[in-house]
Amino acid sequence: MTFVTFLNQFISGATYGLVIYMVALGLALIFGVMSIVNLAHPSLYMLGAFFGYFIWFSLKGYFFSFWLSILLVGLVVAAAGMILEFFLRPLREHTEQILFTYAFIYIIADLIKMFWGGRYYTLPRPPGLTGSITIGEIIVPTYNLFIICISLLMGALLWLLLSKTKLGKIIRAAVFDREMVAMLGIPLPWLFTLVFGIGAFLAGAAGLLAAPMGSIGVGMDAEMMVPVFVVCIIGGMGSFLGALIASLIIGEVYAFGILVLPQMAMAFMFVVVVVVLIIRPQGLIGKS
């Protein structure tokens, strides 16, 4: 393997890993605050891709259509996530929540089939991000660099929201002492609905951002489900930093796994999970 091949594969792995990170961010937020394992979270990612396809082509005549589509898609999927959380409220403290969110995987898939059918769709890369950057013999697609930068930006903005704003302080306080937060007059049900909406916003935006790198179709949620939960488990459930480290590890393992032994690329992910859980059952950054 030449150095150029190694570096190109490394960038490809980082891009794939940070796409997973964008989706895992919302899942980590929801679990960290509400202790809900939302199996339908990758389906919100798929919903974002389909809504993104519809909204982007509806606004295609405008030069800012892609950027506006990201915002609109995030808001639409956030609303869908809030509706899901509303129905989930009675089961918040029960293990049936897992079965309930699993049912929404099929509900969302059937709704997508109803409106868009079972066909596959493709989205072009937005203007200004269609070319590539050449450094010596290394050719890096501009969109890959964009995905790397925007995923890190999303993680930084979420961290700033939770650590530097009044809303973030309330959310963090609710994690440690819900009763005290409720006694201060803060409506916890609506606070949790907002948190669920933020997590869904991240998943929906990620769906549109990742769409130009492949095709959009029913089943793309299943392709994302395993890597997203693997990242959350390796990093530690609820840990943003852990999710970032784990997503980069999994992205590189998958990228080089395809290069070395394509039929075993997905299996290599689980080897990493087994090794990490043996050494640190709570994950890399997670708490016991």
CB 151 within 8 A of CB 19: yes
Average model confidence (pLDDT) for the chain? 87
Determine the pLDDT at residue 288: 64
CB 261 within 8 A of CB 39: no
Task: Centre a 10 Å sphere on the Cβ of residue 35 and count the other Cβ atoms it contains.
Answer: 13
Q: Which residue has the higher pLDDT, 189 or 20?
A: 20
Checking if the pLDDT of 192 tops 70, the result is yes
Determine the pLDDT at residue 94: 66
Task: Centre a 10 Å sphere on the Cβ of residue 239 and count the other Cβ atoms it contains.
Answer: 22
Give percent of the chain with pLDDT exceeding 70.
97
User: What pairing do the DSSP bridges indicate for beta strands 215-216 and 138-141?
Assistant: unpaired
Checking if the pLDDT of 114 tops 70, the result is yes
Name residues whose C-beta falls within 8 Å of residue 164's C-beta, 6 or more positions apart in sequence: none
Determine the pLDDT at residue 100: 87
Q: What is the pLDDT of residues 67-100, one digit of tens each?
A: 889 999 999 999 999 999 988 888 766 667 888 8
Checking if the pLDDT of 209 tops 90, the result is yes
Q: What is the pLDDT of residues 244-261, one digit of tens each?
A: 999 999 999 999 888 888
Distance (Å, whole) CA 39 – CA 99: 8
Residue 93 in tokens:
């403290």
DSSP state letter for 95:
T
Determine the pLDDT at residue 14: 92
Q: What residue segments make up the domains of the chain, in order of their start?
A: 3-279
CB 53 within 8 A of CB 182: no
Determine the pLDDT at residue 79: 95
Determine the pLDDT at residue 93: 67
Phi, psi angles (nearest 5°) of residue 139: -115, 120
Determine the pLDDT at residue 206: 94
Query: Residue range 25-43: average pLDDT?
Result: 87
Predicted TM-score of the model (pTM): 0.91
Distance (Å, whole) CA 227 – CA 36: 18
